[in-house]
Amino acid sequence: MRIKHLMLLMTIVSLFTVIVVGAYVTVAGFGDACGSSVPQDWPTCLGGLLPPFQLAPVMEYMHRIFAALSTLFLLVTVFLFWRDKSSGSSVKKTLYVALTLLIAQVLLGGIVIAQEEESALVAVHQGLAVLTFGVSVAAFARAERDA
């Protein structure tokens, strides 16, 4: 498996992890455990680089860490496919869509925190996460088909 395909697979796994941890954070009611003041409490936790050692803030902070990793993985993946002239344009376009969705997702995450987790915003946030994951899976399928 080529490095760019492996990176895309790692992106997909990390996106799935963000969805699962984010769903747990929401269901457990931990969504504001790191505070709700933007920018003081987002992307940090209660104004600090690390959360207090308690379940709720640690879980919310883990969600943020996984989101940051997913963003980094997707950025690297997009760069690898963009740089490779042999990659098909359909894969690249699909990855550009995934990256755009992820950027919207990250910005919406900050808004969700600032709006104290209004349920409609949380639902859109979750929907964008699932859509980003699905588009990334589609990119992987296209990349494997083209390989």
pLDDT of residue 40: 78
Spatial separation of the C-alpha atoms in residues 142 and 43, rounded to whole Å: 33
Q: What is the pLDDT of residues 71-114, one digit of tens each?
A: 999 999 999 999 988 888 899 999 999 999 999 998 898 888 77
Task: For residue 114, give the nearest of 41, 33, 61, 38 by alpha carbon.
Answer: 38
> Phi/psi of residue 48, each to 5°?
-115, 160
Tell me the CA distances in angstroms from 92 to 41, 69, 99, 134, 143, one per residue in order.
35, 20, 10, 15, 9
pLDDT of residue 79: 96
Residue 15 has pLDDT above 70, yes or no: yes
**8-12, 119-123, 127-131, 136-140: lowest mean pLDDT where?**
119-123
- Number of separate domains in the chain: 1
Looking at residue 48, the DSSP 8-state letter turns out to be B
Please give the residue that has the higher pLDDT: either 127 or 42. Answer: 127
Contact status, residue 34 vs residue 43, Cβ threshold 8 Å: no
Sequence-distant (6+) residues with CB within 8 A of 132 are 15, 98, 101, 102, 105
Range of the domain at 88: 3-146
pLDDT of residue 41: 76
Q: Specify which residues 48 forms β-bridges with.
A: 45
pLDDT of residue 1: 60
